Amino acid sequence: MKNIPPSYFLSIFGLPMRLRYTLFICFLFLYARSWAQVPPQLAAHHYEKALDLNAHYQQTDACNEMWKAITVYPSYSDAYSVLGEWYFNMHQFSAAALVFGKAMKTCKNGYASFAKPYAKSLLYNNQPDSALLILNTFMPANNNASWQALVTQALFVQEALLHPTDTPMNMGPRINTTSPEMYPSISSDSLTFYFTRKHNNIDEDFYYAKPDSCGGWYTALNMGQPLNTPDQESAQMVSADGHYLFFSRCENRSENGWGEGGCDLYLAYRINVDSPWSAPESFGATINSPDNEVMPCLSADNRELFFASDRPGGYGGYDLYVTEFDNGLWLPPRNLGPAVNTAGNETAPFLHIDNNTLYFASDGHTGMGGKDIYVTHRYDDTMWRKPTNMGYPINTTADENSMSVTLDGKKIYLSSDREGVKGDYDIYEVAMPDKYRPMSVCALKGYVYDSISKDRLTYASIYIIDPRTNKTLYHFVSNRGDASYIITLTKGSKYIMQTDRLGYSDVVDTLMFDNDGLPGLIDQNIVMLSQDYVKPVNDSLIFTINFPLNSSKLTDSDIVKIQQAMNPWVTEKGIVVLINGYTDNTGTPLVNEQLSYKRANQVKTEVMKYGIDEIMMKVQGWGEANPISTNDNEEGRDKNRRVEVIIRR
């Protein structure tokens, strides 16, 4: 019937006009119904019921109902299209390929309509060879950019599957729940694990966990107020020194209602790692805009802040930006450029503590599919090298939306929805492949304090200098709360560390980091001396020689005594040797003064034999002054006839 033109029916019947018009409408309806392949009522009923079940999150029942619609009407193209998409979003790629493959064969123009989603489903089911066969067979001659992108992806997946890395392991029920867990990060001492959990698919809060005694983690705890609120707090990042927490908060409202809009960057602070967090504050208009700023990452030296934003002027959806802290101010953000950013979305930046290796998520670079994790390295201060996909199975055809790396660069924590439906993220851990490891670093941590009072010295500037070029490589500042600091430096080099602070003498130290066997974290306090410090006088009596009445001669035992007493001091620098001679009160004062001086010079001559320079000595005869005993009897007078040798430091 569908091949008979409607005008035929008007020409063969000699009927009244009204009747002919009615018959024409009837035949036209039948013709149109046949041409449009309108599904039978029962199939349409199952289709609509399936849509309703899916809208109420009853996905399994929805899929079963959609299969009933297809069973009733095997060429129901809309049903195939919707069902295949459902399976794809549930990461049931094999089922999606089955649906689209069947649709290709049973629906009108099936190859033209379903070859591409069929190939994509095969590709996401880790069947790149089969996907390439379909793509190369049915790719249209024109307007095939999206087809060609799938071919490029299939070739990448084909190669990646041939060279797999270690398989990431789910971190288990102490970290993961039925809610999505995302944005993992770990403290520089590896003693606190942080992440974001999304409750009821709406509210996002921060959680933390502490290590147990078996190499795992205790059950994660909510970080509570003031960090978590009824709004959406997401993508937390705790600074390397543990004092700052940066994050993104959405649904922000300015004073005029919705002027700020979108998501903005916030920060909180704590005086030391055991103190409560301050109430979060917006990062300010220099960084935040009416568009979205999300997923911050602070460099180890607290001088660079990386984040993702969809503000105008980028290369696509979300781009990665960096802002630098200079002279007390955060500078306007700078786009990381086309080597990193694409027409797609680049998000979740993570700069390793080596200050050189940047990891991020992207759906714009060629990869396994969805969002993958990539790594890039600094080319210079402002440019980055071409990113590298971290391969399979770190990346899968699902979404890997964020990751972090331990200080030693040996372990990755990543968030992925590989085991669930789209958006149902869990956190995984896996060994870092050698070829993607960051630079090997040591981290110095400690406090800056006054050497005399032991007071902590906040705001002390710590400069790391290259001794070959005398160029300042890094500038750190001791924390304003507890005067702590943490510095990460690449192994295999020597550095000069200079610390200065107002009112204190500079401290200069040489750091030898040329040994790969050094531990990852080294405790080293910096002790500073006040510029107005006056070194105290410290006199120590080291020996006394007693003399007979009216004698100044040293006995053999006296000489041995002098030698034994002076031996520990012969190499000492910066000392003064005080040699003081005394008499009893018999005789005249003038004679006694001369005698005491003569006795002191005798001792001086002997002391000089042991290498003590004369310029370091001070000799004085005090006569009968400063008696140490009574002069009323012989025993007391024997004690007063003496030479004392004192070391002054």
Q: What is the pLDDT of residues 498-543, one digit of tens each?
A: 999 999 999 999 988 776 666 677 888 999 999 988 877 788 999 9
**What does pLDDT average to over the chain?**
88
Hey, what long-range contacts does 516-523 have (CB within 8 A, 24 or more apart)?
516/440, 516/491, 516/492, 518/442, 518/491, 519/442, 520/407, 520/408, 520/441, 520/442, 520/443, 521/188, 521/189, 521/407, 521/442, 521/443, 521/445, 522/442, 522/443, 522/444, 522/445, 523/445, 523/446
Across 15-31, average pLDDT:
49
Across 455-484, average pLDDT:
90
In this predicted structure, what is the pLDDT of residue 103?
95
Residues 313-332 as b or e (16 or more Cβ within 10 Å = b): ebbebbbbbbbbbeeeebee
pLDDT over 70 (residue 27): no
DSSP, res 639: H
441-528: CATH homologous superfamily?
Answer: Immunoglobulins (2.60.40.10)
pLDDT over 70 (residue 324): yes
Domain spans of the chain?
1-32, 37-162, 169-436, 441-528, 539-648
Amino acid identity for residue 529 in this structure: L
Q: What is the pLDDT of residues 539-563, one digit of tens each?
A: 899 999 999 998 999 999 999 999 9
C-alpha distances (whole Å) from 121 to each of 142, 325, 447 are 22, 46, 56
In this predicted structure, what is the pLDDT of residue 558?
93
DSSP string, 72-140: HSTT-HHHHHHHHHHHHHTT-HHHHHHHHHHHHHHSTTHHHHHHHHHHHHHHHTT-HHHHHHHHHHH--
Across 576-580, average pLDDT:
93
Token digits of residue 532: 């107005």
Burial class (CB in 10 A: 0-12, 13-18, 19+), 214: exposed
pLDDT over 80 (residue 201): no
Whole-angstrom Cα distance, residue 614 to residue 611?
9
- Does the domain formed by 37-162 have CATH 1.25.40.10? yes
Amino acid identity for residue 592 in this structure: N
169-436: CATH homologous superfamily?
Answer: TolB, C-terminal domain (2.120.10.30)
Looking at the domain 539-648, which fold is it? 60s Ribosomal Protein L30; Chain: A; (3.30.1330)
Burial class (CB in 10 A: 0-12, 13-18, 19+), 431: middle
Whole-angstrom Cα distance, residue 361 to residue 41?
46
In this predicted structure, what is the pLDDT of residue 285?
84
pLDDT over 60 (residue 17): no
pLDDT bucket at 296, cuts 50 / 70 / 90: very high
Percent with pLDDT over 90 in the chain: 66
State which H helix or E strand residue 403 sits in: strand 400-405
